Amino acid sequence: MLIRWQTYRSKGGLYRGKTTRIRAILSESIRVDGQSRQKFIAVIGSVVAERLDVEARRDFWKEAFERLATNVHDDDRSKIEAELARRVPPTTAAEEAEWRVAVSQRQVIETPDAEHDAVHGPGGSRRAV
């Protein structure tokens, strides 16, 4: 298994056409009629290329860990994670602590997903109130 990186212009929300996103795609090399081809397995995650701050990287890795757990065997996982880390560095404990302090002091505004995860935990239920 290998990671293929795809760059594309953003098509949604606030970023429509204004930013470039990078997407990590998990694929596998297979042979078709004697020629090597890449078989799509899953999209691991995406991030705005211009915005690699702590929150964006944390969200990318949260999504990546969930998708790797379902699509990659433990044997290949460390190799795939290292390949992902070359392009999108994981957050360190110090960066996380600094970010949480900034959020608590209202220097940084948390995204709705991060706020939801803080209350309900990742993947918690979302109900309209």
C-alpha to C-alpha distances, 25 to 22, 59, 60, 91, 126, nearest whole angstrom: 10, 16, 13, 21, 27
Q: How many other CB atoms are found less than 10 A from the CB of residue 98?
A: 14
Is the pTM of the predicted complex or chain greater than 0.75? no
| 73 or 13: which leads in pLDDT | 73
Read off the pLDDT band of 102 (50, 70, 90). confident
Q: Is the alpha carbon torsion for 98, 100, 102, 105 positive or negative?
A: negative
Predicted pLDDT at 108: 59
Q: Which residues contact 5 (CB under 8 A, 6 or more apart)?
A: 22, 23, 24, 25, 87
Read off the pLDDT band of 79 (50, 70, 90). very high
Domain spans in the chain, listed from the N-terminal domain onward: 2-120
Helical axes 54-71 vs 112-120, angle rounded to 10°: 60
Mean pLDDT of all residues in 74-87: 90
d(C-alpha 74, C-alpha 91), whole Å: 22
Q: Is the pLDDT at 25 greater than 80, yes or no? A: yes
